[in-house]
A and B are shown apart, each in its own frame.
Chain A
Amino acid sequence: MSDEPNRGLQSPLRRKLLMGAAALPLVSILPRPSFGAGPATATVNTTGLAVTDTEVTVGILHSATGTMAISETGSIQAEKLAIEQINAAGGVLGRKIKFIQEDGASDWPTFAEKAKKLLVNDKVAAIMGCWTSASRKAVLPVMEQYNGMLYYPTFYEGLEQSKNVIYTGQEATQQILAGLNWIAKEKGAKSFFFIGSDYIWPRTSNKIARKHVENVLKGKVVGEEYYALGSTQFNSVINKIKLTKPDVIFTDVVGGSNVAFYKQLKAAGVDLSKQALLTISVTEDEIDGIGGENIAGAYACMKYFQSLDNANNKTFVPAFKKLWGEKTVIGDVTQAAYLGPWLWKLTVEKAGSFDIDKIAAASAGVEFKDAPEGYVRIHQNHHLWSKTRVGRAKLDGQFELIFETADLIEPDPFPKGYQ
């Protein structure tokens, strides 16, 4: 795919003037005098990235405004926390991380434009960013053309793999299959009703789920319905659910639609403590809007819950709350976003270089033992090995861990037999 790496970086026309304006949002973190002891810049940066003897610049590219801001703010916070912690621990190859934050404004072409600006103008060494599949699809050609490195945090539909992206969230099979197996075994579920928002991620996820239900679990999908993004009318589908009486409602409704969906479900008298519902799209962040009382009893299939009981998470959650306030909640994607800067740091140190090609090559096998979700490792296909977990929503908006896979699940973005 990336047959023309670096062309943009060789452009002879450069204007420094506008970079002055671009430098305004730089937030300098904790001035520490000890930076600058790392290896010489000439050896760790052979492609003209924004690396000096004391500093290295990365980009943060999420929606700070628009409809996606509510979801992406957590990712921005997590990435800033990780950068702060890395700097406090001595930085990357003896260099302090500076970041330039850009706003994708919930608008996919803006994402592409800003990614290009970060790579071409600012020459950032890596970009932590994107959230929706649409924004990633918009940014991907830019990353490949200008040979950048993107750390992408969201669980997504798979069917993608790039030298220039590290996917720190789960691809679809990682998220779905173990959860379906669990609910089939635990609840003896045979019939499933799929409800999703109408775009690529729910469609692909449900396609995989359907194949798994029909071919592996030998169950039946009794209904599959899609609603436009932002839709708030779910009464007709709720009636169908009451008629077909599925063992499990399987949902991948996203964003604000969730609020309407769960409230209407409750109003229609569907009791989630009796009717099993498995969602792959509701994290602690969404429950903040839905309200714990509307969703308590539902199962969510994720790789991380804020309530996880392990040593890493017990230091991560307080650190996050200390920086961003006691009331903030941490969802699955926020945790995955936190992994981005750390995995990049570990990869740079393994490669001994900031060069994109060397990082891309060194990524496979990089381990992060302090991840809040527990140990993770980067696969050769640039996705993460991680566990799948099922949690049950509680009244207070947190999840209670019900099940987790014994082993790390291998990422498989192009699953055979599921396409």
Chain B
Amino acid sequence: MIINSRFFNRSELIGFVALALVLLVILPLSLDVFRLNLVAKYLTYAFVAIGLVLCWGYGGILSLGQGVFFGLGGYCMAMFLKLEASSVENTKIQSTPGIPDFMDWNQITALPLFWQPFHSLTFTVLAIILVPGLFALIIGTAMFKRRVGGTYFAIITQAVAAILTILIVGQQGYTGGINGMTDLRTLKGWDIRPDHAKIVLYFFEVFLLFGCIFIAQFIRLTKLGRILVAMREQEDRVRFSGYSVANFKIFAFCMAAIFAAIGGAMFALNVGFMSPSFVGIVPSIEMVIYTAVGGRMSIFGAVWGALLVNFAKTGLSESFPQLWLFGLGALFIAVVLAFPNGLSGIWADYVQPRIDRLLASRKSKSGAWADNSVADGAPAE
């Protein structure tokens, strides 16, 4: 078994340092708080994209329903924040003060039972991880144990996304319906809306993101990661070698779900808002696009993909409010046609060789970099 002696190889280290530099130094220094808050919003999708790298890029399980888990995480967080914002004091204008405003509009007169535990932050944090995790476990077990995979699995995840959207929209008295949960204000009395809170939340999110990157990288480097890749390439051989393929798939799918849920929770905190428009089919596919643009084999690429696509979205829509969707579409087509391996492919094909050559000419005699080709070669298709 080959495990890299270092946690990051050289090219990954460059990627890590570059990302840390941009997220922790360059962006905070060059952007105003409004734009920084937008970056925080973009980064919430990076969590999902990292999860997809594990589950799709490495495990070969294409999920077109990550919005479900993003939404579950986001709604758990939003429920806590909404309860805090719906104090009797804040809602005295309602017919039933002390419950969220949308419940009052829907003639609900008491807080539903399943909302009660969300008064507790500890419960909420656990729920953000466990609810999507368990849900993924159930779906994963039901599907993978029966050897449902590939396209069928992708279609089923889409159906789940559609069902959850309909459920949320239909049960508007309990979920806020199509409006979503708006006007989230404080976290344990700490106002999440002013500028200084946005900055704190941004850095908190970036550290969480690096946490997820480390976890993903760790999984990738262990035997587990090798099995995932092997499974993607030759599922039957892995099965005949005595591994339970289904369990590994379930694991990858659950990890991706938990990452997505963390992203969703950070979204609710940063944007002060949660709505079914992040749960359905379209946002779920968009999340796959971020991963594809970044390069589905690259953990760092996923982060760049989420950032780049969202920057393009905002920039194009501000400059060309009528035409921006065409611009965005053209961008996707261009990336898929010209660079099927996404941003990380561009890096590996064009930038990395030059750096290597540069370094090689300097240290031409050491020859210490020979192992890189093995490490980098793993993801090749």
Q: Which residues of A contact B (CB under 8 A)?
A: 4, 7-8, 11, 13-15, 18, 21-22, 24-25, 64-65, 101-103, 105, 107-110, 112-113, 116-117, 120-121, 133-134, 137-138, 140-141, 145, 157, 159, 198-200, 203-204, 207, 228-229, 414, 419
Residues of chain A within 8 A of B315, CB atoms compared: 21
Contact B325 A4 (CB under 8 A): no
Contact B273 A112 (CB under 8 A): yes
Residues of chain A within 8 A of B151, CB atoms compared: none
Contact B169 A141 (CB under 8 A): no
Partner of B180, one of A22, A105, A108: A108
Contact A107 B277 (CB under 8 A): yes
Closest to A61 in B: B321
Contact B32 A102 (CB under 8 A): no
B289 to chain A, nearest CB (A): 16
Partner of A120, one of B34, B172, B325: B34
Q: Return 6 A-B CB contacts under 8 Å, by A number.
A: A21-B315, A138-B179, A138-B273, A141-B193, A198-B177, A203-B172
Contact A200 B319 (CB under 8 A): no
Contact A25 B102 (CB under 8 A): no
Contact B318 A102 (CB under 8 A): yes
Partner of A203, one of B34, B105, B194, B314: B105
Closest to B36 in A: A13
Contact B166 A103 (CB under 8 A): no
Does any Cβ of A come within 8 Å of B211's Cβ?
no
B325 to chain A, nearest CB (A): 5
- Total count of chain B residues near the partner, CB < 8 A: 45
Contact A21 B319 (CB under 8 A): yes
Partner of B33, one of A13, A109, A141, A228: A13
Residues of chain A within 8 A of B324, CB atoms compared: 65, 103
Closest to A110 in B: B317
Partner of A137, one of B33, B179, B272: B179
Contact A141 B272 (CB under 8 A): yes
Taking CB atoms and an 8 Å cut-off, the chain B residues in 315-335 that contact chain A are 315, 317-322, 324-325
Contact B172 A116 (CB under 8 A): no
CA distance A419 to B108 in the complex (A): 12
Does any Cβ of A come within 8 Å of B371's Cβ?
no
Known contacts A15-B30, A141-B183, A229 near B169 by CB under 8 Å: yes
Contact A134 B178 (CB under 8 A): yes
Hey, what's the 0/1 contact readout for B291-321 against A, CB within 8 Å counting as 1?
0000000000000000000000011011111
Closest to B165 in A: A228
Contact A199 B179 (CB under 8 A): yes
CA distance A203 to B170 in the complex (A): 12
Residues of chain B within 8 A of A65, CB atoms compared: 322, 324-325
Does any Cβ of A come within 8 Å of B35's Cβ?
yes
Residues of chain B within 8 A of A24, CB atoms compared: 318-320
Contact A25 B30 (CB under 8 A): no
CA distance A117 to B178 in the complex (A): 23
Closest to B271 in A: A109
Closest to A134 in B: B179
Partner of A25, one of B95, B194, B272, B321: B321
Residues of chain B within 8 A of A109, CB atoms compared: 180, 271, 273, 275, 277-278
Contact B325 A207 (CB under 8 A): no
Contact B183 A140 (CB under 8 A): yes
Known contacts A21-B315, A108-B179, A138-B273, A200 near B321 by CB under 8 Å: no
Contact A112 B321 (CB under 8 A): no
Residues of chain B within 8 A of A137, CB atoms compared: 179-180, 182-183
Hey, what's the 0/1 contact readout for B182-218 against A, CB within 8 Å counting as 1?
1101000001011100000000000000000000000
CA distance A334 to B32 in the complex (A): 36
Residues of chain A within 8 A of B314, CB atoms compared: 113
Residues of chain B within 8 A of A133, CB atoms compared: 179
CA distance A105 to B194 in the complex (A): 26
Contact B193 A138 (CB under 8 A): no
Residues of chain A within 8 A of B325, CB atoms compared: 65, 105
Does any Cβ of A come within 8 Å of B106's Cβ?
yes
Residues of chain B within 8 A of A64, CB atoms compared: 321-322
B280 to chain A, nearest CB (A): 11
Does any Cβ of A come within 8 Å of B18's Cβ?
no
Partner of B172, one of A13, A141, A200: A200
Closest to B318 in A: A22
Closest to A204 in B: B105
Residues of chain B within 8 A of A14, CB atoms compared: 32
Hey, what's the 0/1 contact readout for B25-47 against A, CB within 8 Å counting as 1?
00000111111001001000000
CA distance A135 to B258 in the complex (A): 29
Does any Cβ of A come within 8 Å of B370's Cβ?
no
Does any Cβ of A come within 8 Å of B107's Cβ?
yes
Residues of chain B within 8 A of A13, CB atoms compared: 31-33
Contact B318 A141 (CB under 8 A): no
Contact B194 A140 (CB under 8 A): no
CA distance A65 to B320 in the complex (A): 11
Contact A11 B32 (CB under 8 A): yes
CA distance A228 to B165 in the complex (A): 11
Residues of chain A within 8 A of B278, CB atoms compared: 109
CA distance A13 to B183 in the complex (A): 25
- Known pairs A25-B321, A110-B317, A116-B34. 14 more at Cβ < 8 A? A7-B194, A8-B34, A11-B34, A25-B320, A102-B321, A108-B179, A108-B180, A112-B273, A113-B38, A138-B275, A140-B182, A141-B272, A145-B193, A198-B172
CA distance A64 to B326 in the complex (A): 13
B116 to chain A, nearest CB (A): 24
Does any Cβ of A come within 8 Å of B93's Cβ?
yes
Contact B275 A108 (CB under 8 A): yes
A108 to chain B, nearest CB (A): 5
Contact A7 B195 (CB under 8 A): yes
Partner of B318, one of A25, A108, A204: A25
CA distance A24 to B278 in the complex (A): 29
A141 to chain B, nearest CB (A): 4
CA distance A65 to B317 in the complex (A): 10
Please provide the 10 A-B residue pairs with the shortest distance between their CB atoms, ordered closest to farther: A103-B321, A134-B179, A13-B32, A141-B183, A24-B319, A120-B34, A137-B182, A199-B178, A7-B194, A15-B32
Residues of chain A within 8 A of B41, CB atoms compared: 113
Closest to A62 in B: B321
Known contacts A103-B324, A207-B107, A15 near B31 by CB under 8 Å: yes
A124 to chain B, nearest CB (A): 13
CA distance A256 to B255 in the complex (A): 40
A253 to chain B, nearest CB (A): 15
CA distance A101 to B178 in the complex (A): 25
Residues of chain B within 8 A of A7, CB atoms compared: 193-195
B32 to chain A, nearest CB (A): 4
A66 to chain B, nearest CB (A): 9
